[in-house]
Amino acid sequence: MVWEQRWHPLREEWVIVATHRQDRPWTGEMASSSSEEIADFDPDCYLCPGNTRIGGNQNPNYEQVFVFDNDLPCVAQDVNRELEPAPGDVNRNKPAYGVARVVCYSPKHNLSLAELDDHEVETLVRTWRQQYIELGNYPKISHVLIFENRGKVVGVSNPHPHCQIYATNFVFKHIATEARVSQNYLAETGRILFRDIIAAEKEDAKRVICENDSAIAFIPYFARYAYEIFVAPKTTCASLANLSDDELRDFAKILKQVLVKFDNLWQMPFPYVMPLHQAPTDGGDYSGFHFHIEFHPPLRKPNLLKYLAGPEIGGGNFLSDTSPDEKAAELRSLPDVHYKSTA
C-alpha cells in the first residue's frame, strides 16, 4: 500500500492521495432519467418574485439579480450586544456580528447558475463585485464571504438559484490562512503564490479544464475532492473589485463553462459548495492575494457522497480517492452546451 502526500500550499496542509482505494470506476450511469420537472415559479418559494418571505417582507417582481438582507441571519447586526465573559482563563470569546444577505441569480425558480446565459453570469459577477465593495466599506467589517451551497447533499432543498453573503467583523479561517501564506510567499520569493500554482498547472497541462485570454479553470494537483475546481483570473487581483471589465467578462465565461461541464457530467444538477476567495477588507496588505473561486463538490459519483470521516474530521487531513489528472480529463471531454438546452 503506497499513499502519496501532496502539499496544499494555500491551506498549509497535506492531502493524502490513495487512488487504489477507489472502487469500480464510474460506468456511465446518469441521474437525469428520474429528475422531475420543476416549474419556473413556485408560490411557496420565499425567493420567487412577488412572494412573501419568512420575515414578512414581500419580494419585488425582480427581473434580473435580486439582493436582500437575510431574514434569518447567522450573524447579528447588533454591534452593541453585551457578551457574557467566557468562564475561566482558558476559554475565550468575543462578539461576532455582520450583515447577511441573499443574492437571487434569476427570477426563474428552476434555472441554475449553469443555465444562465453569458451575459447573466457576467451581471451576477458584477453584483458580487458591487456587494464586496459596498459591504467591505462598512466600518468594522473585516471580510465579505460570498458562497453558494447547491444541492440537497449540502443542505439546500430549495432549487431557486441563489447564493449567500456573510460580511463579518472577523475573517474566516481559510481566507485568513490563504492571506497569511500568500503574503509570506511574496515576502520570501517576490512572487505571487497563486500565479506559481497557475504556472505549474499550465506547464503540466493535465488538469487544466478550460481557459481563455485572461481566465483559467483547473483541478489543482493537491485537490481534496474528486471534482474540485479552481476558477481564476490570470492576473493577480485581491478581489473582484480590481478586475478590469474585460477580465471580468473572461472570468464569467470560464465560470459558466465549468458550471455547464459539472451539470453535464451526470446530467443532473451538480451539487457543490462554491466560495469566492477574496481578500479581507480590514485594511491590511493583501498584495499577494489572488482572487479565485473554489468548487468543493461532495459527490464522487451520481449517488456516492465523499464522506468526511476519520481522516478528515478525526485527523484533519483529507484522504482523496481519485486521481485529479483522470477527473480533469473526464470533465474536459464534456460538451460546453448544457444538457437541458439540447434536450
* Shortest reach from residue 42's CB to Zn ion, in Å: 5
Reading the block at residue 340, the C-alpha cell is 437541458
Residues within the interface to Zn ion (CB under 5 A): 42, 45, 47-48, 109, 160
Asked if 162 is an active-site residue, the reply is yes
109, 162, 290, 292: the catalytic one is 162
Residues 6+ apart with CB under 8 A from 203: none
- Which residue's C-beta sits nearest to Zn ion? 45
CB closer to Zn ion out of 45 and 153:
45
CA–CA distance, 141 with 164 (Å, rounded to integer) = 16
Closer by beta carbon to Zn ion, 271 or else 298: 271
Phi, psi of 300 (to 5 degrees): -100, -30
Q: What stretches of the chain adopt beta strand conformation (E)?
A: 4-8, 13-17, 66-69, 98-104, 143-150, 162-168, 208-211, 215-218, 229-233, 272-277, 292-295, 299-301, 304-305, 319-320
- Which residue in 157, 148, 179, 151 sits closest to 10, CA to CA? 179
Cα 292 to Cα 41: distance, rounded to the nearest angstrom: 32
User: Would you say 106 or 267 has its CB closer to Zn ion?
Assistant: 106
Smallest gap from Cβ 290 to Zn ion, in A, equals 35
* AA identity, residue 62: Y
CB of 159 to Zn ion, least distance (A): 8
CA–CA dist 220, 202 (Å, integer): 11
Identity of the residue, 22 or 164, whose beta carbon is nearer to Zn ion in the bound complex: 164
Helix or strand (DSSP H, E) at 325: helix 324-332
User: Quick one: 47 or 121, whose CB is closer to Zn ion?
Assistant: 47
Nearer CB in complex with Zn ion: 105/251: 105
The least distance separating Zn ion from the CB of residue 44, rounded to whole angstroms, comes to 9
Taking the alpha carbons at both ends of the chain, their separation in whole angstroms is 45
If we measure between CA atoms, which residue out of 326, 342, 159 comes closest to residue 267?
342
Residue with grid cell 493583501, as numbered in its chain: 286
CB of 105 to Zn ion, least distance (A): 11
In the complex, least distance from residue 109 CB atom to Zn ion, rounded to whole angstroms: 3
Catalytic residue set: 162
